[in-house]
Structure 1
Amino acid sequence: MNSVDLSKDAARKRAFAARKAVYRTGLDAAAQAHLRAALAEFGAVTVSGYLPIRTEIDPVPVMATLPGPVCVPVIPGAGQPLDFHLWTPDAILVDGPFGAKVPAEGIAVTPRVLIVPMLAFDKRGYRLGYGGGFYDRTLARLRAAGPVTALGFAFDAQEADEVPIDAYDQPLDGIVTESGLRRF
């Protein structure tokens, strides 16, 4: 394991603890209001959200009210970019990789705005995920094809002084927390 990988592992442990400490403290509602406002500027474009796992902040109440198509990520396999399948609040869900639920009916769509989960983020706009590199590969692929906006969604407590990064790590365009939207 190289030094960046070791740094990321240590940062993940700290980030899990920080996120767990604020999970279910009622901060979701304020963050969701800011997320709804941030997404309003995009109109009815296709937005990718996510179905939260573990102690992730919950974007589903916002996703359910968006005017355009909404999709969620689906992991096609290790080392690959994410696919996105159409989601509705009443979609039948099945178990997907890593404990995430995915729509049973796999209608593929391409998002123009992504709500991105994370363990930690920094003031440069970098995020720390679970280590699979799925969002980094996906953002690189989507950005090469045209304009796309990636908005991280997290609690303020998940901010780190600096997230360790590699050359392949993709920055976010903004982060939404209970304090509001920050653009990078």
Structure 2
Amino acid sequence: MAIRTEIDPLAAMAEASAYGPVGVPVIAGPGLPLSFAVWEPDCEMLDGPFGARIPASGEMMDPEILIVPLVAFSRSGGRLGYGGGFYDRTLERMRAKRPTLAIGFAFAGQEMVDLPLEDTDQPLDLIVTEREIIEP
């Protein structure tokens, strides 16, 4: 679910739901990885932490593909997030168990040549903008 000025992923989520379960992130607390609640196009939503909306059902899932929010990205798959580390911790945990695809939805204007990345930053596998699809 989009927050701040992020690209709204609802159309992509609705399309994806025709092929399998779709989840939205649930923040358990600072410093913890995310969990994911099952989302359906017409499900009831509640206000969750950090201004994000979450499904009311409470049914959880383990996704294989994550749409990852970002402030900026690089063509090499680098991602600058909002500073909480939620997605980096989550991707690290998930990728230790099985392959997990991280897709960044961004505006083309969010691209940067160099990003201040850290060792804990998890790379994007695909970046989708209004202009193109980038495969790092």
Q: TM-score, normalised by structure 2?
A: 0.95
2:7 to 37, 54, 57: 57
For residues 58 and 108 of structure 1, the distance between their equivalents in structure 2, rounded to whole angstroms, comes to: 22
Superposed CA deviations along residues 22-63 of structure 1, whole A, max 9, x for unmatched, are xxxxxxxxxxxxxxxxxxxxxxxxxxxxx1111110110111
**Which has the larger strand fraction?**
2
For residues 124 and 64 of structure 1, the distance between their equivalents in structure 2, rounded to whole angstroms, comes to: 28
What is the identity, as a one-letter code, of the residue corresponding to 2:56?
Answer: A
1:115 paired residue number: 67
The answer to whether the Cα contact below 8 Å between 1:82 and 1:138 also exists between their aligned partners in 2 is: yes
What is the identity, as a one-letter code, of the residue corresponding to 1:153?
Answer: F
**Which has the larger helix fraction?**
1
Q: 2:35 matched to 1:83?
A: yes
For residues 124 and 12 of structure 2, the distance between their equivalents in structure 1, rounded to whole angstroms, comes to: 19
For residues 130 and 100 of structure 1, the distance between their equivalents in structure 2, rounded to whole angstroms, comes to: 14
The answer to whether the Cα contact below 8 Å between 1:81 and 1:137 also exists between their aligned partners in 2 is: yes
2:76 to 124, 137, 156: 124
Q: Secondary structure at the match of 1:136?
A: helix
Q: After superposition, where does 1:141-160 map in structure 2 within 5 Å?
A: 141-160=93-112
The answer to whether the Cα contact below 8 Å between 1:74 and 1:84 also exists between their aligned partners in 2 is: yes
For residues 50 and 110 of structure 2, the distance between their equivalents in structure 1, rounded to whole angstroms, comes to: 21
What is the identity, as a one-letter code, of the residue corresponding to 1:130?
Answer: Y
Deviation at 1:160, TM superposition (A): 1.1
In structure 1, runs of 5+ residues without a counterpart are 1-50
Runs of 4+ that moved beyond 4 A: none
Q: Secondary structure at the match of 2:83?
A: coil
1:10 paired residue number: none
Relative CO higher for 1 or 2, CA cutoff 8 Å, sep ≥ 6?
1
Q: 2:116 matched to 1:173?
A: no
What is the identity, as a one-letter code, of the residue corresponding to 1:126?
Answer: G
State, as a whole percentage, how many aligned pairs show the same letter.
56
2:51 paired residue number: 99
Q: TM-score, normalised by structure 1?
A: 0.71
1:48 paired residue number: none
What is the identity, as a one-letter code, of the residue corresponding to 1:109?
Answer: M
Q: Secondary structure at the match of 1:143?
A: helix
RMSD: 0.9
Structure number, greater radius of gyration: 1
